[in-house]
Amino acid sequence: MTPIAPPSPHGYPTPFWLLEALKVFGFWLHAGPMNLWYAGMPAAVLLRFLGGTHGRHLARRLASVMPIAIALGVNFGIIPLLFTQVVNYQFFYPAGVLIAWPWLGVIGLLTVAYYGVYVHAESSRRGLVLAAGAASALLLVAIGFLFANNFSLMTNPGQWLAIFGRTAIAGAPSGLALNLGDPTLLPRWLMMFGLAMTTAAAYIALDTAYFERSGDDTYSRWAGRFAVLLYTVGLVWFAAAGSWYVFGTWHKHVQQAAIARPAIAALMAATAAAPGLPWLLLVLWRRVGAPKLAAWAAAAQFGVIGINAVSRQWVQNVELRPYADLASVPVHAQWVAFGAFVAALMAAIWVVAWMVLRLRAAWLRSNPN
């Protein structure tokens, strides 16, 4: 029998659907900057050292935005982390403990990667820039692999006892394991990398259309071509890994559930097809040259990330359903606290927007061209 902890006596602080919505919303926010550093950092390093003049220029632009992307991505990651622990604690904690050392290693790796990103962006010494950038890019990809390990193990409790049996010392896991035997591990990891490439490409288009102000048309044309190329590679990668994941590794009951209801089947189809829209917009932007098309492509990419977040949550729920009925946990509602949270979030967004707009206006004043 799979060892699942009993439910918390405190129940849920709001209805299940709302917790799930907050979790998905948080992941959606997190995934944007996370995608950017995940694929953007390797791209920046490769372009910096293998690219031509334009490639190096783009690499520097990508590098300069990475410290902020990581800061925001880590910050936005807190929300899904919080709500995962409220809703999925019975699965999240055991999976983490079984792979405790690698999972804890994420913190050390991220610290090194983050400082490496700063060095890569700020240093003028070529060797140091290369070493720091390459190390950071590799570490960020490795962190993605560790995340894929924990979250695939979390949704596959059937694997727990096998890992536990291999690593337990007098009934207590040593934490020296990875979820390498899980068939979903590699496609999940690779699929996310494909999605990250598309997001990085959409960002490059946005940057080229709106933020890059050198006025160099040859660079703009080159960056446009590069963005479309990167998006295309990411799209193919995402489709290949996604097909492997869905058709090659999903349990039968998940596959059946995905086609049992038209709404869910439509969601799955939309998730698969969604990246086609930003790709199309990017191609149009390259041909027509209207900056708004790049903005629309970036917005559509945000939608792609969002629909992926919703689909992932649905799959996760179906995978966990045989082990616990998460939707039937009693609710001890904390509506006042929830209201305070929403109000604070709105206020925070307002304050952040005010500051960013002020900075943007000041920046435009100091860089009129």
Partner 1 sequence: MHYPFWYVPWLTSPMLIAIIATLHVFVAMFAVGGGFVLALGARAGYRPGGGPLLDYLRQFAWFFILITVAYGAITGVGVWWIIGLASPLATEELIHIFIFVWGLEYTAFLVEIVSAFVFFYGWGRLDARTHQITVRIYAVSAWLSLVLITGITAFMLNTGGWSQGAGLWRAFWNPQTVPQIVARTGTSLMLAALFVFLHAALKLPRGGEVHARIARLTARWAMLGGALVIVGGAGWFVLSPPSAQAALAAAAALNILMVLLFALTALVIVMLYLGPYRKPEWVNPGFAILFFSMGFAATAAGEFVREAVRKPYIVYGSILGNGIRVAEVPRARVEGFLNNGTWTRAYIGERYPQLLDRGRIDQARLPNLPLAQRREIGRVLFQYHCNDCHAVTGYSGVDQLIRGWTRGMIADVVRAPDRAAFFMPPWCGTPEEAEVLTDYLASVARPYPAGLMRPGGEGSQ
Q: Which of residues 73-132 bind partner 1 (CB under 8 A)?
A: 74-75, 77-79, 81-83, 85-86, 89, 92-94, 96-98, 100, 103-104, 106-107, 110-111, 114-115, 118
Among 52, 124, 218, 336, binds partner 1 (CB under 8 A): 336
Query: Which residues, 345 to 364, sit near partner 1 by CB under 8 A?
Result: 345, 347-348, 351-352, 355-356, 358-359, 362-363
User: Residue 38 and residue 147: Cα distance in Å, rounded?
Assistant: 12
**Shortest distance (Å) from residue 88 CB to partner 1:** 11
Report d(CA 169, CA 174) in Å as an integer. Answer: 7
8 Å CB contact between 23 and 126: no
- Pattern 44-73, binding to partner 1, x per CB under 8 A? -----------------------xx-xxx-
Query: Given the complex with partner 1, which of 269 and 356 has the nearer CB atom?
Result: 356
By CB under 8 A, tell whether 283 contacts partner 1: no
CB of 74 to partner 1, least distance (A): 6
- Is 152 or 311 the residue whose CB approaches partner 1 more closely? 152
SS3 148: helix
> Under 8 Å CB-to-CB from 202, ≥6 apart: which residues?
227, 231, 278, 282, 297, 298, 300, 301
Distance CA 264, CA 311 (A): 9
- Cβ pair 130, 48 in contact under 8 A: yes
Instruction: Give the footprint of partner 1 on residues 205-264 (CB under 8 A).
Output: none
Q: How many CB atoms are located within 10 Å of the residue 90 CB?
A: 19
Residue 128 is encoded by which pair of tokens? 């140091």
Q: Which of residues 143-162 bind partner 1 (CB under 8 A)?
A: 161
- Interaction between residue 332 and partner 1 (CB under 8 A): yes
Q: Which stretch binds partner 1 (CB under 8 A): 196-204, 257-265, 301-309, 338-346?
A: 338-346
Residue whose C-alpha is closest to residue 44's, from 34, 31, 33, 58: 58
Q: How far is the CB of 139 from partner 1 (least distance, A)?
A: 12
Query: Can you read off the two tokens belonging to residue 36?
Result: 């950017």
Alpha-carbon gap, residue 353 to 355, rounded angstroms: 5
- The count of residues interacting with partner 1 (CB under 8 A) is 75
Cα separation, 286 vs 202, whole angstroms: 12
Q: Which is nearer to partner 1, 125 or 332 (CB)?
A: 332
Residue 171 touches partner 1, criterion: CB under 8 A: yes
Of the two residues 265 and 357, which places its CB atom closer to partner 1 in the complex? 357
Of the two residues 94 and 187, which places its CB atom closer to partner 1 in the complex?
Answer: 94
Pairing of strands 168-169, 172-173: antiparallel
What's the min distance (Å) between Cβ of 8 and partner 1? 5
The rounded distance, in Å, linking the Cα atoms of 30 and 72 is 8
Q: Which of 3, 181, 276, 322 binds partner 1 (CB under 8 A)?
A: 3
- Site for partner 1 (CB under 8 A): which residue of 124, 328, 366, 369? 366
Distance in Å, CB of 94 to partner 1, minimum: 6
Tokens of 264: 């869910």
Is residue 29 within 8 Å of 79, Cβ to Cβ? yes
* Residue 317: CB minimum distance to partner 1, A: 19
Q: Considering only residues 4, 128, 186, 233, which one is a binding residue for partner 1 as defined by CB under 8 A?
A: 4
CB of 12 to partner 1, least distance (A): 8
Q: Pick from 276, 282, 272: which is nearest to 307 by CA?
A: 272
Residue whose CB is less far from partner 1, 41 or 205: 41
Comparing CA positions, the residue from 246, 204, 248, 210 lying closest to residue 228 is 204
CB of 336 to partner 1, least distance (A): 8
CB 98 within 8 A of CB 13: no
